């Protein structure tokens, strides 16, 4: 009798405990739903504006696609993050800081949660120095306005309860480009891609063909946005520059929008040491980009993107002033005088290029600020980590971040929040070549490795959080 009386309450307790455990488990697994909205805004441009991305300015008439700013804003109900880009060669911190500060004030997106930059298109107009009060700031102001309009439009969708309610992810690939720092037979490092035909021994570094794709759709299955990342210089076939262009990766995004809908956003990867050789036509570059993106899009798996976090911090970097001016000048002079006469695809005169590099070095030496500050950033969208680097990071360093990251899906976003030039690995300096010359490279050797270590440290902190 006593045994039976004891067993019944015990059984009830077990049942109650199991019910409570199930309820607690359900509460713990319930996560905030991700919502996302995207927008793109065209920038008005005239034929009179010289094209950037070249050592000396070029002129182009008309366009093959729009130059624009494009963003995606994501929220989990507690916080918002913003990722975006503009179809220009590079953007410095003052412009991007103004956009981010204004967006924080007007739309409630924390400054530290905004990662925006340039796509490194070599087919868009030159940006003037935003700190120069005597310079024409018309284009800079148009970029700021376009970014803010795009962010405002995307944010308004979210505030109205619209936009994407589901996300998915796929890791694709594309065969556009290669490590372009080839060791030529005469011991120099390739700069202008055309000259590889004159004989080379080997590449001096790796190439990263990964093409991650994030997809966001609404309740009806309509595409709201695709965000993709790729690490090759975004340059059309450069001989000559016939029209203004967001270049082949920007064109691929806009052409896919016509087929799939939504807003498609390109975020550049670690592309400092990778280019597409000139004998691949622009149309083939566009095709391969579209093909890689669409293949990944079609196989993307549903993903839990409820975790949205960001780390954004200033770091100090030292302007490179330790170079030997005579040696640097001789290296540029020898290279241009030797190789430029062999370039048949487009007219290349050595003297203007040599003079342009000399002017860059003079500005570096005359700079009153030898130590400057820039931004480093990590944004988590679910289990996908984006590492914002404010320059043209070499592929080897980008791949090192991926290798050492605790997050399986980790991707570098180049020219994010600022621009501090090429960021080679230390070995690259021993080979020499364009990306290591003082002028296009204006931070001290070792800056790239410093950013890799910082990225791994912050990624580990977020992973353990």
* pLDDT on residue 9: 57
Q: How confident is the model at residue 133 (pLDDT cuts 50, 70, 90)?
A: confident
pLDDT in tens, 385-407: 999 999 999 999 999 999 999 99
* pLDDT on residue 22: 52
* pLDDT on residue 20: 53
> Does residue 369 lie within any of the structural domains?
no
**HEC profile for 317-377?**
EEECCCCCHHHHHHHHHHHHHHHHHHCCCCCCCHHHHHHHHHHHHHHHHHCCCCEEEEEEE
pLDDT in tens, 40-66: 999 999 999 989 888 888 888 999 999
* pLDDT on residue 225: 98
pLDDT exceeds cutoff 50 at 8: no
> Does residue 395 lie within any of the structural domains?
no
In whole angstroms, give the CA distance from residue 138 to residue 124: 14
pLDDT exceeds cutoff 70 at 270: yes
Helix (H) or strand (E) holding 141: helix 138-159
> Does residue 461 lie within any of the structural domains?
no
> Does residue 127 lie within any of the structural domains?
yes
* pLDDT on residue 261: 97
> Does residue 342 lie within any of the structural domains?
no
> Does residue 271 lie within any of the structural domains?
yes
pLDDT in tens, 200-222: 999 999 999 999 999 999 999 99
What percent of the chain lies above the pLDDT cut of 70? 93
pLDDT exceeds cutoff 90 at 242: no
Number of domains observed in the structure of the chain: 1
> Does residue 456 lie within any of the structural domains?
no
Boundaries of domain holding 127: 35-307
Determine the average pLDDT of the residues in 2-22: 49
- Higher-confidence position of 9 and 373: 373
pLDDT exceeds cutoff 90 at 143: yes
Strands 182-184 and 200-203: antiparallel
Q: How confident is the model at residue 24 (pLDDT cuts 50, 70, 90)?
A: very low
């Amino acid at each position: 009798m006593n045994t039976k009386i004891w067993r019944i309450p015990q059984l009830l307790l077990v049942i109650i405990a199991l019910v409570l455990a199930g309820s607690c488990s359900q509460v713990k697994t319930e996560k905030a739903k991700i919502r996302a909205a995207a927008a793109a805004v065209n920038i008005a441009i005239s034929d009179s504006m010289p094209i950037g991305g070249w050592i000396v300015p070029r002129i182009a008439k008309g366009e093959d696609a729009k130059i624009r700013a494009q963003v995606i804003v994501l929220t989990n109900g507690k916080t918002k993050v913003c990722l975006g880009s503009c179809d220009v060669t590079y953007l410095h911190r003052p412009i991007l800081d103004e956009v981010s500060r204004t967006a924080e004030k007007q739309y409630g997106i924390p400054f530290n949660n905004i990662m925006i930059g340039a796509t490194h298109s070599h087919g868009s107009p030159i940006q003037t120095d935003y700190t120069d009060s005597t310079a024409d700031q018309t284009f800079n102001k148009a970029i700021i306005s376009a970014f803010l309009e795009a962010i405002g439009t995307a944010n308004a969708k979210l505030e109205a309860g619209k936009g994407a309610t589901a996300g998915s992810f796929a890791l694709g690939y594309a065969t556009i480009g290669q490590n372009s720092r080839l060791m030529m037979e005469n011991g120099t490092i390739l700069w202008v891609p055309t000259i590889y035909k004159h004989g080379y021994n080997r590449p001096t570094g790796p190439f990263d063909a990964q093409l991650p794709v994030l997809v966001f759709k609404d309740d009806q299955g309509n595409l709201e946005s695709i965000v993709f990342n790729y690490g090759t210089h975004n340059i059309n076939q450069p001989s000559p520059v016939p029209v203004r262009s967001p270049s082949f990766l920007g064109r691929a995004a806009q052409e896919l929008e016509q087929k799939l809908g939504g807003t498609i956003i390109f975020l550049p990867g670690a592309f400092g040491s990778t280019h597409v050789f000139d004998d691949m036509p622009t149309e083939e570059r566009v095709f391969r980009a579209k093909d890689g993106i669409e293949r990944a899009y079609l196989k993307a798996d549903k993903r839990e993107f409820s975790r949205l976090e960001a780390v954004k911090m200033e770091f100090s970097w030292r302007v490179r002033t330790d170079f030997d001016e005579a040696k640097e000048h001789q290296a540029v002079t020898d290279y241009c005088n030797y190789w430029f006469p062999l370039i048949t695809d487009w007219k290349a005169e050595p003297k203007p290029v040599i003079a342009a590099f000399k002017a860059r070095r003079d500005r570096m030496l005359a700079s009153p600020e030898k130590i400057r500050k820039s931004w480093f950033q990590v944004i988590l969208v679910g289990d996908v980590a984006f590492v914002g680097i404010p320059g043209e990071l070499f592929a080897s360093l980008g791949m090192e971040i991926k290798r050492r990251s605790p997050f399986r899906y980790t991707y570098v976003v180049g020219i994010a929040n600022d621009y501090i030039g090429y960021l080679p690995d230390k070995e690259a300096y021993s080979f020499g070549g364009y990306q290591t010359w003082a002028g296009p490279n204006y931070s001290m050797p070792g800056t790239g490795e410093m950013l890799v270590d910082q990225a791994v440290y912050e990624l580990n902190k977020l992973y353990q959080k």
